[in-house]
Amino acid sequence: MHIADRISRLGTETAFAVAARAAAHKAAGHEVFPFHLGDMNIPTPANVMEAACRAMRAGKTGYCPSPGIPELRDALALDVNAARGTSYAMENVAIQPGGKPVIGKFIMACMNPGEEVLYPNPGYPIYESQIEYHGGVAVPYRYLRDTSGFHIDLDHLQSLITPRTRAIIINDLQNPLGAQCSDAERNRLAELAMRHDLAVLLDEAYFDIRYGGKSVSLASIPGMAERSVILYTFSKKFAMTGWRLGAAIGPREIIDVVAKLNVNDESCSNHFVQHGALEGLTGDQSGPLAILSTLKERRDAAVELLNSMSGVDCPSPEATFYLFPEVTELMSRKGFTDDYASFAEDILVKTGVSLCTRLHFGRPLHGEERRFIRLAYSGIDVDGIRKGLLALK
């Protein structure tokens, strides 16, 4: 059968391949400590589940408007405005079947084939995949590490902007690094986007997964809301990864395009799930608070153990549920200087710890000599974290 050429440019989220390998190891009778995927083993808050069930029984099982039910669009605009200081209305919100679909739709709306889009590396692999699939040139920008954690190398980023650059993807509160921008860094990014007239995808998947301080959106900087699309998701804050619900939030001219893509692709997002999400936004907030405190306890346990291991150095991010420890010394001690794949397989077989390495988040950029792994603690409880990481020692 003939397969279209563009498919050869489509990448994937390789963490799912690690999940399949871990599942096979478990099926063969071994204990597995799942640190590989940003999925969650925490239940969705009960009030959200009940509201979705009620909606289902009340017949909310047919199609609904393509950009989402008006009550949810309205509530989400208000919620986002309260947290970010923006002034969106429901017309600025297009509900999506997850946050991930916003990436491809943003690319389709803002980039022509042959144009360049800047994206983070290490970063969420779907950015590069979608840019290349749609015929664009994916241009990775890098991060620097200091004692406080990872920061975008803004001079490097600036040097990558050309007359063909159309857009930039920014994942402040970053997967896999746990990095977050300072105010000064955010201002400089905004200044660059405005000076070069770039469309901006603000991937804010982890905006609400924060253990201290307050998240700040680039959309709150004057001039930025007009050129940005926020990727919003219900997946993490409400432990709803499998429900598949998110939103694109931005200027009407882009959101109307996104909604038109919805009509073509999905017709609409799951109807009764939207009623569950509405309860999540407007109802009792003890669920998301409990989720955060569970995650914080896991982070603290994992960071403490990792930093007690010789050859491992792990900053403690204030946001996301990922850790990105340096393991250069550990890897060479175990005889795997730069062979990430064999290192991860060896760890899985010998300890049951399933993890992603730096390689799962883009090709290493020129000059990278230090080695890193990514540990997600959203799908493993404190006991598992302790047992797994002690085995790793």
Q: Which residue, among 95, 65, 69, 66, has the nearest Cα to 80 in the 3D structure? A: 95
Judged by beta carbon, residue 100 or residue 227, the one nearer ligand PLP is 100
Q: Two tokens at 254?
A: 């882009």
Beta strands in 112-254 (DSSP E): 116-120, 137-141, 143-146, 149-152, 165-170, 199-203, 228-233, 246-249
Q: How far is the CB of 391 from ligand PLP (least distance, A)?
A: 26
CB of 226 to ligand PLP, least distance (A): 22
Tokens, residue 326 = 């340096």
Q: Least distance in Å: CB of 177 to ligand PLP? A: 10
Nearer to ligand PLP, 109 or 247 (CB): 247
Residue among 76 and 205 whose Cβ is closer to ligand PLP: 205
Considering the complex, what minimum distance in angstroms separates the CB of residue 316 from ligand PLP?
19
Shortest CB 195 distance to ligand PLP, Å: 26
In the bound complex, what is the minimum distance in angstroms from residue 163's beta carbon to ligand PLP?
28
User: In 163-314, where do the E strands start and end?
Assistant: 165-170, 199-203, 228-233, 246-249
Q: Tell me which residue of 84, 36, 55, 129 sits closest to 230, measured CA to CA.
A: 84
Q: Which two tokens stand for residue 179?
A: 């990095």
Q: What whole-number distance in Å separates Cα of residue 312 and Cα of residue 330?
A: 6
From residue 29, give the alpha-carbon distance in Å to each of 23, 25, 381, 390: 10, 7, 20, 20
Residues that bind ligand PLP (CB under 6 A): 38, 98-100, 124, 171, 175, 203, 205, 231, 233, 235, 241, 246
Question: How far is the C-alpha of 200 from the C-alpha of 219, rounded, in Å?
Answer: 9
**Min separation Cβ 27 and ligand PLP, Å:** 24
Closer CB to ligand PLP, 66 or 96, in the complex: 96
CB of 206 to ligand PLP, least distance (A): 7
CA distance 240 to 245: 8
Closer by beta carbon to ligand PLP, 215 or else 332: 215
Helix 46-57, helix 271-282: angle, nearest 10: 140
Chain position whose Cβ is nearest to ligand PLP: 99
Of 171 and 269, which CB lies nearer to ligand PLP in the complex structure?
A: 171
User: Which structure tokens are listed for 175?
Assistant: 């997967």
Instruction: Tell me how far apart the alpha carbons of residues 326 and 314 are, in angstroms, rounded to a whole number.
Output: 6
Looking at beta carbons only, is 165 or 235 nearer to ligand PLP? 235
Q: b vs e for 136-172, b when ≥16 Cβ sit within 10 Å of the residue's Cβ?
A: bbbbbbbbebeeebbbbebeebbeebeeebbbbbbbb
User: What is the total residue count of the chain?
Assistant: 393
Give whichever of 98 and 352 is closer to ligand PLP, judged by the CB atom: 98
Rounded distance between C-alpha atoms, residue 167 and residue 116, angstroms = 7
CB of 230 to ligand PLP, least distance (A): 11
